[in-house]
A and B are shown apart, each in its own frame.
Chain A
């Protein structure tokens, strides 16, 4: 038990490990798939982000080029006019005026003459500008000592750059605090000397909108820095025109990444870079603006790109983990359940197994009757026991001792294990007590005393106990409240039983014994009430009539048993077994008691022949195993009847015969005495009066009286010229 238990547990453990392993494998596969999908998606998303950023950079660049282009064109297209007008300085005002009027993008334009180009005129710089919110341009002069334009960057750089120069953006303090930039080109006179610088001022107020509105992702932002790193557009407005990218970078804790970024941007390179700032990763896409040399960057926080898929991924991961957790819990629960179930199952199996063993033990107590079991020659036995449950309270037993068959059939009140235990006790008691006691009533008394003494659970036993003397067929029996067995002779009759109480009811109860004689070919059928009270589905009982119907046809004991079992099974059908069912057949077949003994004796009418009659009866008695008293009685009756014939049937001196036909079976001894003498009916003689005293008592007439007294039936008839006297003695 324990080994298999361990093996089972190991099996379950293995099963559990396999189950968990499967979960782990499933989890790993699932997660790997998710990861691959995630990485692939990430790559896709990054590509998508790059594409978006780059296209936005390109678009913005084009728009800026468009505007700056307009400003450059406005300047270039008027270079030749300005050359022309150098000769007539006053006309220069016309030029600037025209540039501003014709180009809406240009908010101001100046022609700044190289100092002292005109003799007597140190500084000359006609300037036209448009006031904020006003369309009408105003023309004035920049030739102001305080401003000193020759020192201004736009002027100086223009002299150096023949193709023109875009100034660093600046805040125009005079013109409404606007962010401005100026494109300036040198103008040469006909002799080839640089005479002036022509400028166009460009308002950059649109730049903030243009760049600020570039929204690749909701939380992405764009920046624009100038050639020198000055912030032109930036989400942090305080930085604009106040700080350079270098300054901002230097203030950071980890400057390496930002440094390389700012360097690249200031160099006018395009590309992208990943930066980590305060634990957040961002991707920066940057590209230089042609002409102005600015650099624009789009900053996309990593979360913006992957946020959705991260969220989705996290959700998926969470759901998967949840699912796996549930799976683990389910497997755990299943295993736990399985273990529990197995435990219960094991318990049940063990109990079933034990019951099975109990059943086997119980059945082993019952003597097995089979073809190869040695039985007594003079008896055939068959018996069966069918418990309603694994074990039952019915039992039977039999065994041979001293030419006697000891047998019993019993039914313990109740069913199942308690009944089985009492049954085991009863059966042991029967064996013990009957081993030294041949009287059924004493056997039952002893059993009753013992059982009553120990009967704390008030269980009682109905028991029929019989002791069959094999040679004589004499059956002594005692019935303690059991169903009376049936005697199967030519007909079926219940064995007369006295109403004794069942065993175990009360100590010291008297049990009355009874006696009968079984003859050759008689059978006893013993049964428990499980037979007559077998119920079918309609709750009808099998009953005694059905039982007797089966018994009516005489068969061998085994066939009888099988026929009865089949009849009950057919009757009960699918209805559950209601009670233990036990049956036992005993077939008495003593060869000595076989058939009828028939003998004939013929005597002459000579009184001396009587001794032959004595011998004749003696032989018969010996042959039929008749006891001495009976033999003597028969002898006496016969002698009286025969003497009568010898003395009186034939006339004096005439010879004659007297025939005696004896026919003895187990039940009766029948004698017919016949003679051919004169008709005489001895039965007609008056009955002797045995109450008379000595004086009155006749000395004769006792012969026929004794015949009548001894025999149970005496009949006379005259037949075929013969006197026939039939005498029958019941032997039972």
Chain B
């Protein structure tokens, strides 16, 4: 699992590469924890290369979303594949995030 964070003005892009399963989520959660402090801007979760997501991954997404919302920021989930989109649909997450292709 690889996470690349790039920041430009108030927009933070998080590129997620690989499988976001439970063990990976534990790592990623730590990596992304600082973003919560800075959630007033826009966070783009780039899922173009995300292959898989488990509930722990979803938990990270939701945690970020909650923080962002509290700070008046925005979270955009971009480029989900079919499988991940299905999971989002099943869990009602599609309504919680701004989704972009």
Contact = CB atoms under 8 A, between A and B. Distances in A.
Nearest to A700: B59
Contacts of B78: none
B63 A633 contact: no
Counting contact residues on chain A (CB < 8 A from B), the size range is: 20 to 34
B23 interface: yes
B65 A607 contact: no
Contacts of B69: 694-695
A699 B91 CA distance: 12
Interface in B17-36: 19, 21-23, 26
Interface stretch (B6-14, B39-47, B48-56): B48-56
A697 B61 CA distance: 12
Contact of A703 (B55, B62, B65, B66): B55
Contacts of A607: 22-23, 26
Interface stretch (A88-96, A349-357, A460-468, A608-616): A608-616
B83 interface: yes
Contacts of A691: 92
Nearest to B69: A694
A706 interface: yes
A639 interface: yes
Contacts of B53: 636
A640 interface: yes
A4 interface: no
Contacts of B65: 694
Given A607-B22, A610-B21, A632 B91 contact: no
Given A690-B92, A699-B63, A706-B87, A629 B82 contact: yes
A702 interface: yes
Contact of A705 (B21, B22, B91): B91
A635 B62 contact: no
Most chain B Cβ neighbours within 10 Å, of A628, A643, A688: A643
Contacts of B58: 702
Contacts of A694: 62, 65-66, 69, 96
- Top 8 nearest A-B pairs by Cβ distance? A690-B92, A702-B55, A632-B83, A703-B55, A643-B22, A709-B90, A699-B59, A607-B23
Interface of A: 607-608, 610-611, 614, 628-629, 632-633, 635-636, 639-640, 643, 688, 690-691, 693-695, 697, 699-700, 702-703, 705-706, 709-710
Interface of B: 19, 21-23, 26, 52-56, 58-59, 62-63, 65-66, 69, 82-83, 86-87, 90-92, 96
28 contacts: A607-B22, A607-B23, A610-B23, A614-B19, A614-B52, A632-B83, A636-B52, A636-B53, A636-B54, A636-B87, A639-B22, A640-B54, A643-B22, A643-B54, A688-B91, A690-B91, A690-B92, A691-B92, A694-B65, A694-B96, A697-B66, A699-B59, A700-B59, A702-B91, A703-B54, A703-B55, A706-B87, A706-B91
Given A639-B54, A643-B54, A694-B65, 8 more contacts: A614-B52, A628-B83, A633-B83, A635-B52, A636-B87, A694-B96, A709-B90, A709-B91
